[in-house]
Amino acid sequence: MIIHTGGRTDTVQYYTEWLLNRFGEGYVLSRNPLFPNKVTRYELTPDVVDCVVFCSKNYKPILPRLHEITDRFNTYFYYTITAYGKDIEPGVPGIEESMETLIKLSELVGKQRIAWKYDPVLLTKEYTMKRHFETFEGMAKVLSPYIDRCIFNFVEMYGQKASRKKLESNMPELIPLSSQDMDALARGLGEIARRNDIFIQTCGRNDDFSHYHIHSSGCVTLEILGNANNITFKDLKHKGARQGCHSIESRDIGAYDTCMNGCKYCYANKNPQKAFENYKYHDKDSSLLIGVVKPEDCMIQGAQKSFQKKKKGIRTDDL
């Protein structure tokens, strides 16, 4: 089983103590976003968790105590650093500070466990192709010795009307990307990555940019996690989380509407203020990220099956 810590919120940046407490106690509770009264318990022990996948825009808060997890679990880290400033990512540290933190993280866990995410790529009058290429090249020169790969994607609507309207409302300055725009951006990013000896790939796409030295999608794969941690996984189909996604199935222990980064393009928050309101209900000692278990909640034990060869998993009945 793969545990994901950052798909729904930036757990590492804003909920560090809670995250460490959960791994310390050996279990976590996760509320189903579609059925709020359904709460699932997952065991956080090395015998049933194959790998802990982190995704964050700021690892600085957890660095001093990260060993509490890395000493016990296989891990992989996705670090998002983009070209944008506070106008688009108000809660995210600047580029220089972020790169310094990535380097420190790499020195702690090894470059083979770190992917730099340049995601999403979007265009405005301020963030032009030229600015993307200049910024990306500057970062690539600094980060290339400290990362396993670079992963990028173009800004997405995720195919849902509500998500599309939210993005249009939050970012009226957004310039829609044409297929020609995406091709030009891929060509430029691919060439810069090649010059800096960086393995670059897409995320959540079916496009073929291999002629630009860009590898196909599949950012959380058993091959990547296995190579990083020197473990062997079964040959399993990667179902993905949405169309175009080629990642392995995982379980996210975070919650939507809780990330205070305030990124304009974010799909995980209804609006930035909602996250700050929900934070008031966060208790670092709770088993849930937000709030507590209620009498009307239905709690079940999650199925935890190992993807590794010759490793047993567990599955228990409902609590």
| pLDDT score at 112 | 98
Mean pLDDT value across residues 3-28: 97
- Split at pLDDT 50, 70, 90, the class of 98 is very high
Under DSSP, the state recorded for 145 is G
CA distance to 26, 80, 227, 229, 243, per residue, from 86 (Å): 37, 15, 36, 35, 31
Quote the CA–CA distance of 284 and 61 in Å, as a whole number: 14
Q: Are 150 and 193 in contact (CB under 8 A)?
A: yes
Flag whether 317 is in a domain: no
Task: Say whether 129 sits in a helix, a strand or coil.
Answer: helix
Flag whether 308 is in a domain: no
Cis check: omega of the bond before 120, within 30 degrees of 0: yes
For residue 98, give the H/E element and its range.
helix 95-109
Dihedral sign computed on CA atoms, order 117, 123, 129, 130: negative
| pLDDT score at 272 | 79
Domain count for the chain, please give it.
1
Flag whether 100 is in a domain: yes
Question: Taking all residues of the chain, what is their mean pLDDT, rounded to a whole number?
Answer: 90
Quote the CA–CA distance of 290 and 51 in Å, as a whole number: 24
Flag whether 306 is in a domain: no
Under DSSP, the state recorded for 233 is B
Cβ burial of 278 (10 Å; 0-12, 13-18, 19+) is buried
The reported pTM is 0.92
Flag whether 313 is in a domain: no
Q: Each residue of 184-210: pLDDT tens digit?
A: 999 999 999 999 999 999 987 778 999
Give first-to-last CA distance, the chain, whole Å.
20
Flag whether 30 is in a domain: yes
Flag whether 285 is in a domain: yes
Residue percentage of the chain with pLDDT more than 90: 76
Q: Residue 44: is its pLDDT beyond 50? A: yes
Q: Residue 110: is its pLDDT beyond 50? A: yes
Query: Rounded to the nearest 5°, which phi and psi values hold at 8?
Result: -100, -20
Tell me which residue range forms the domain holding 161.
2-301
Q: Are 103 and 138 in contact (CB under 8 A)?
A: no
- Split at pLDDT 50, 70, 90, the class of 318 is very low
Mean pLDDT value across residues 110-136: 97
Under DSSP, the state recorded for 174 is P
Flag whether 223 is in a domain: yes
- Split at pLDDT 50, 70, 90, the class of 156 is confident
